[in-house]
Amino acid sequence: MIGPVQHIASSCFQNTLPGLLLITYVWLTSISLAEEAAPPNNTFPGKSWEERSSAEVGLQESFLVKIPEYLKGRGMIVKDGYRVFSWGDASKAGDVASAAKPIYTHFLAHAVETGRLSSFDQKVKDIHPELGSINAGLDHKDRQMTFAHLATQTACYGVNEAPGSAYDYNDFQMAFFWDSLFEGVYGVEKSKVDEEVFHPLLTNPLQFEDPVSMLAFGVKDRAGRLKISPRDFCRFGWLYLNEGRWGKQQILQPDHVRMITQSPLPISLPRTKGVEADMLPHQRSIGSRNIPDNQTDHYGSYSWLWWVNGKRAGGQRFWPDAPAGAFACLGHKHGKRGMVAIPVWNMVMSWNDTDLDKKPWPDSQTDPHPLNPVFKWISEALKR
């Protein structure tokens, strides 16, 4: 099996940096984050989360109460395997928009581990031979697209750069990834993805409590959108904080979890220039309808569809008051819906319907992301 450092250097960014420099970058990043991320011998929930008071797990609630005042909506915090704080209705399931994307990567890694794909570097044209016939004027660039490119938003599908040469946060690309993975690799119809893949391989082993579906709006409306409650999203985060282990069962290999959550794109990787190129006929989107679609920079903080606490161009962390090893699923503007795992604090938090989209953020390379105050309060809550 290709190791995480070898894989990153050999596939996603082969057109951007000299191989040795990139290997060094990813290796140093992975080592520094991994030093924080060794999971303890945690407890795991059964049919429901056990509860502890914030004081019992070393948290001062006077700081935690600032979180719902700032975020609004609903959410929940898990520490040391216990539900320790919540606000609103944490059992209410709802769409989480782009926060669903790390679950796609989860099933990509599972497909590699179970032999459905030969590697992350397998060409997508093996599933979609018609990719070989589009964009002749661009040297049929899409023939080189791999599943790793799709899972890092570097496939450049629908824009004119070659796969691996630029970053493009693109909802047509994500719909293409989801369809290629679940219909193509797993071989299931959209209408049956929950019952044949999602539930038996993920939600059932983790004993999700609330309604959950990858067809949040139905099979004909943006299939791949995730409907999930904050308390169940915490289960997915707890799985990843524990490096793919759930109790005595290893759901995903630890090296894949580390690769997925600790390999941010290099800050030198450019954002697409957004010049339109051909997509396959009748290509659907999972959200945005903009063509070409080019929604955001990666800020050196995007790792296999997770947002991580990387360093931006000015050297600042994405979340200055969070540990370096934090990683999050974020959906809608500023992460209005999402979940974050913080291994060094042994903590997971999930939220939905918040006011984060209303918080000011000039989208610069210096100002902290609007989620940062939450990390500051948690840090204060941990101080004795």
The model's pTM: 0.92
Q: How far apart are CA 17 and CA 123, in angstroms?
A: 21
Q: How far apart are CA 37 and CA 260, in angstroms?
A: 13
326-379 tens-digit pLDDT: 999 999 999 999 999 999 999 999 999 999 999 998 777 678 899 999 999 999
User: Given a cut of 90, is residue 37 above it in pLDDT?
Assistant: no
Confidence of residue 18 (pLDDT cuts 50, 70, 90): very low
* Contact in structure between 261 and 237 (CB atoms under 8 Å): no
pLDDT on residue 367: 85
- Helical segments of the chain, H only: 4-10, 19-37, 61-64, 66-71, 101-113, 147-150, 171-178, 193, 230-241, 254-261, 372-382
Q: How far apart are CA 12 and CA 5, in angstroms?
A: 11
User: Given a cut of 70, is residue 179 above it in pLDDT?
Assistant: yes
Q: From 202, 227, 47, select the one nearest 111 (Cα to Cα).
A: 202
Q: What is the mean pLDDT of residues 115-131?
A: 98
User: Given a cut of 90, is residue 88 above it in pLDDT?
Assistant: yes
User: Given a cut of 50, is residue 25 above it in pLDDT?
Assistant: no
Q: What is the mean pLDDT of residues 279-304?
A: 97
Percent over 90 (pLDDT), the chain: 86
pLDDT on residue 384: 65
Reply yes or no: is the peptide bond before residue 292 cis, omega within 30 of 0: yes
pLDDT on residue 2: 33
Spell out the domains of the chain, with CATH numbers in brackets: 4-382 (3.40.710.10)
User: Given a cut of 90, is residue 266 above it in pLDDT?
Assistant: yes
Q: From 326, 359, 322, select the one nearest 241 (Cα to Cα).
A: 326
pLDDT on residue 164: 98
Q: What is the mean pLDDT of residues 37-64?
A: 90
pLDDT on residue 39: 60
Confidence of residue 232 (pLDDT cuts 50, 70, 90): very high
Q: How far apart are CA 282 and CA 251, in angstroms?
A: 35
pLDDT on residue 27: 40
Residue with the larger pLDDT of the pair 6 and 290: 290
How many CB atoms are located within 10 Å of the residue 55 CB? 10
